[in-house]
């Protein structure tokens, strides 16, 4: 067991090599740089290193809480989770948790290839993806076939935005810290406007994003994309990029320009720029949204659940998480109830503002 910052360069290189050999997409959330960044803002962050003889054969990044309650590294903000293991490695889940002194291990975006943990999943969700492997023109032709009205309308709004607000300029990898601060302000306002928990009100998340904005590792690089009208930012997105995957994380836009759908325009330009950079997949993350349905070319499964070992810690995990998960699942499975819940959240947010 080690703190993320205690891994040697040889161990980090082995981690990257194991990840490269995996069948799963090279999601940057699964790289050592993300775990190291979490370790600098979360004191309970740990990495279990599994050895075969003198060589590491696997890594499990996790966070350890009171009474040994464990959770995937960065749970709540990380969009890909699990262990990094040599293909075919024989490992028993309970023994791994025992070695880590964990009574449970919770996850909410477990990768589909995580055979060690998938059987403990309580829920399966779709994460929505955009395939630009064959280039942006091919992707646009797919959109013309599956969502012709959406594409035509979005491109028309893009032209109107340029005419009325100023010439449009897109920067795929913006380095201006002021642009990141603007994005975080927009996102906080959006969370409050829709009655959701403001992630940027949590200091550790703000610090984590700030650190990752400076990350420039080949397989985990912070990427801030900004759409400008004249010199004014109108939409922005911060995510993590590997050589093959852009993990979409925090998108937001200036509500003053909402009628032009600048967020949708931004995503189209991100797809175009990513394809030009050789990135083949944009991962829009889990959670249904109208814009994701319009932009996606496919879906991948991710899982939520927990491995629980018998004991006091396991009972505490069940009491703290399972009732809420079941309630959420009940609401999500009933579209009319889910719509009512969303309207109630927005109404509550308006009441808090007044």
Residue 109 and residue 153 in one domain:
no
Residues 6+ apart with CB under 8 A from 97: 70, 103, 104, 105, 307, 309
Q: CA torsion 93→326→336→76, rounded to 10°?
A: -60
Look up the CATH number of the domain holding residue 46: 3.40.630
303: left (phi over 0), alpha (psi -120 to 50) or beta: beta
Tally DSSP H helices, then E strands, for the chain: 12, 13
> In whole angstroms, what is the distance from residue 208 CA to residue 212 CA?
6
Look up the CATH number of the domain holding residue 173: 3.40.630.30
DSSP 53-116: TTEEEEEEEEEE-GGGEEEETTTTT-SSB--EE-TT----HHHHHHHTT-SEEEEEEEETT-HH
* Inside any domain, residue 2: no
Residue 105 and residue 191 in one domain:
no
pLDDT tens digits along 235-272: 999 999 999 999 999 999 999 999 999 999 999 999 99
Residue 290 and residue 319 in one domain:
no
> In whole angstroms, what is the distance from residue 50 CA to residue 1 CA?
9
Residue 290 and residue 148 in one domain:
yes
The Cβ-side half-sphere exposure at 306, using a 13 Å CA radius, reads 24
Residue 47 and residue 194 in one domain:
no
Residue 196 and residue 316 in one domain:
no
- Least trusted range by pLDDT, from 185-189, 191-195, 202-206, 327-331: 327-331
Last residue of one domain, picked from the residues 279, 301, 323: 301
Model pLDDT, residue 329: 55
Reported confidence tier of residue 66, pLDDT bands at 50, 70, 90: confident
* Inside any domain, residue 113: yes
Residue 286 and residue 316 in one domain:
no
Give the DSSP H/E element, type plus range, for residue 351: helix 335-353
Residue 147 and residue 219 in one domain:
yes
> In whole angstroms, what is the distance from residue 145 CA to residue 157 CA?
19
Residue 236 and residue 102 in one domain:
no
For residue 313, pLDDT over 60 is answered with no
* Inside any domain, residue 111: yes
For residue 317, pLDDT over 80 is answered with no
The Cβ-side half-sphere exposure at 150, using a 13 Å CA radius, reads 18
Residue 99 and residue 110 in one domain:
yes
* Inside any domain, residue 23: yes
**What is the distance of C-alpha 328 from the center of its chain?**
20
Residue 152 and residue 169 in one domain:
yes
Locate tokens 């262990």: which residue?
Answer: 83
**CB burial readout 148-170, b (16+ within 10 A) else e:** eebbeebeebbeebbeebeebeb
Crossing angle of helices 262-276 and 148-165, in 10° steps, is 100
* Inside any domain, residue 1: no
> In whole angstroms, what is the distance from residue 99 CA to residue 95 CA?
6
Print the domain residue range for 92: 9-124+302-352
Reported confidence tier of residue 337, pLDDT bands at 50, 70, 90: very low
Locate tokens 């279990």: which residue?
Answer: 48
Model pLDDT, residue 352: 47
> In whole angstroms, what is the distance from residue 352 CA to residue 354 CA?
5
* Inside any domain, residue 3: no
- Least trusted range by pLDDT, from 2-6, 37-41, 254-258, 325-329: 325-329
* Inside any domain, residue 120: yes
Residue 234 and residue 144 in one domain:
yes
> In whole angstroms, what is the distance from residue 203 CA to residue 347 CA?
26
Q: Which two tokens stand for residue 1?
A: 């067991």
Average pLDDT, the chain: 91
> In whole angstroms, what is the distance from residue 285 CA to residue 108 CA?
12
* Inside any domain, residue 196: yes
| Structural domains counted in the chain | 2
> Is residue 203 exposed (0-12), middle (13-18) or buried (19+ Cβ within 10 Å)?
exposed
């Amino acid at each position: 067991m080690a703190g993320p910052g205690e891994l040697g360069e040889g161990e980090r290189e082995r981690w990257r090599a194991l990840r490269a050999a995996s069948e799963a997409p090279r999601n940057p959330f699964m790289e050592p740089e993300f775990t190291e960044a979490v370790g600098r803002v979360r004191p309970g962050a740990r990495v279990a290193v599994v050895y075969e003889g003198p060589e590491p054969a696997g890594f499990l990044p996790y966070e350890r809480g009171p009474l040994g309650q464990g959770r995937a590294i960065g749970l709540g903000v990380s969009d890909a989770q699990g262990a990094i293991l040599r293909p075919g490695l024989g490992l028993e889940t309970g023994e791994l948790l025992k070695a880590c002194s964990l009574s449970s291990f919770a996850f909410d975006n477990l990768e589909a290839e995580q055979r060690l943990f998938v059987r403990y999943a309580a829920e399966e969700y779709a994460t929505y993806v955009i395939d630009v492997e064959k280039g942006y023109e091919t992707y646009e032709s797919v959109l013309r076939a599956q969502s012709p009205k959406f594409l035509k309308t979005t491109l028309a709004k893009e032209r109107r935005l340029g005419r009325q607000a100023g010439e449009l300029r897109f920067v795929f990898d913006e380095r201006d810290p002021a642009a990141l601060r603007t994005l975080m302000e927009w996102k906080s306002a959006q969370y409050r406007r829709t009655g959701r928990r403001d992630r940027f009100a949590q200091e550790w998340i703000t610090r984590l994003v700030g650190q990752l904005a400076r990350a420039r590792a080949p397989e985990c690089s912070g990427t801030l994309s900004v759409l400008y009208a004249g010199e004014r930012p109108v939409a922005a997105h911060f995510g993590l990029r590997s050589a093959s995957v852009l993990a979409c994380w925090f998108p937001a836009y200036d509500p003053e320009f909402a009628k032009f759908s600048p967020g949708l325009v931004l995503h189209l330009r991100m797809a175009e720029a990513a394809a030009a950079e050789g990135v083949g997949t944009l991962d829009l993350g889990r959670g249904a949204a109208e814009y994701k349905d319009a932009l996606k070319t496919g879906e991948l499964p991710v899982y939520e659940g927990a491995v629980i070992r018998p004991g006091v810690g396991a009972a505490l995990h069940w009491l703290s998480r399972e009732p809420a998960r079941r309630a959420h699942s009940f609401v999500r499975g009933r579209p009319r109830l889910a719509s009512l819940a969303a309207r109630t959240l927005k109404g509550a947010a308006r009441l808090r503002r007044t």
